[in-house]
Amino acid sequence: MNIWDWSYVWEALPYLYRGALVTVQATLLSFAIALVLGLIVALIRQSPNRYLCTFMAEIVEFIRSTPALLQVFFAYFVGPQFGIVIPAWTVGIGVLGIHYAAYCSEVYRSGIENVDGGQWEACTALNLSRLRTWRAIILPQAIPPIVPALGNYFVGLFKETPILAAIAILEMLQQAKNFGGNHYRYIEAITMAGFFYLVFSLAASAIVQAVSFWLNRRYHLQ
């Protein structure tokens, strides 16, 4: 038996294409949630209310300390026992987004705390509103340096989408597995899936580097 058969590659491509669309959509939507929610959490943790900050910090630690797969199982399988029935796609996107929002919030927080304290004093002296201080002074300095770290989580999220197969979402790796099971031939489909993961990860890394370079030049941080 041949180790590699190109005819199986061509047969597997429709499976991989359908799975790749789901994988990319899940990655982009989940990461969009993670970026927005992570920033909101980071801003809340800058609140002068000590109790609110502590409460939010505990939530972040709880989410980071439990596996994303467990969170997906809990939302999808345990939720209905309490009358909370959510479609699989919504559960998958929402849980991955919230899970990575916890990590992104820490990245945002490190960038915010790295801004020189004198910037706050200058904004106060100029009588700038808190909203304008955040929007025009603090965030433009805090975000560009942390883009590479956020990019790492973007790539990590992409590689973690196979957990969606646990709730019957046919992402790319599951489609490759299904093809292998239907044809009793796994090597071509699994190898092609791995190749796509590699190409996407390298492309995403290059895009993150380009965005980081552009932001640093725009805000004169280099």
Tell me, letter by letter, the H, E, C secondary structure of 32-64: HHHHHHHHHHHHHCCCCCHHHHHHHHHHHHHHH
Residue from 107, 115, 102, 113 nearest 66 by CA:
102
Is 133 within the bounds of a domain?
A: yes
Total domains, the chain? 1
Q: Is residue 117 part of a domain?
A: yes
With H, G, I as helix, E, B as strand and everything else as coil, classify residue 195.
helix
2 located within any domain: no
| pLDDT tens track, the chain, 222 positions | 578 888 889 999 999 999 999 999 999 999 999 999 999 999 999 888 989 999 999 999 999 999 999 999 999 999 999 999 999 999 999 999 999 999 999 999 999 988 887 888 888 888 888 888 888 888 888 898 899 999 999 999 999 999 999 998 989 999 999 999 888 889 999 999 999 999 999 999 999 999 888 887 876 655
For residues 100 and 154, is the Cβ–Cβ distance under 8 A?
no
Q: What is the CATH number of the domain that holds 176?
A: 1.10.3720.10
Domain membership flag for residue 113: yes
* 135: in domain: yes
Distance, in Å, from the CA atom of 154 to the CA atom of 48, rounded to the nearest integer, reads 30
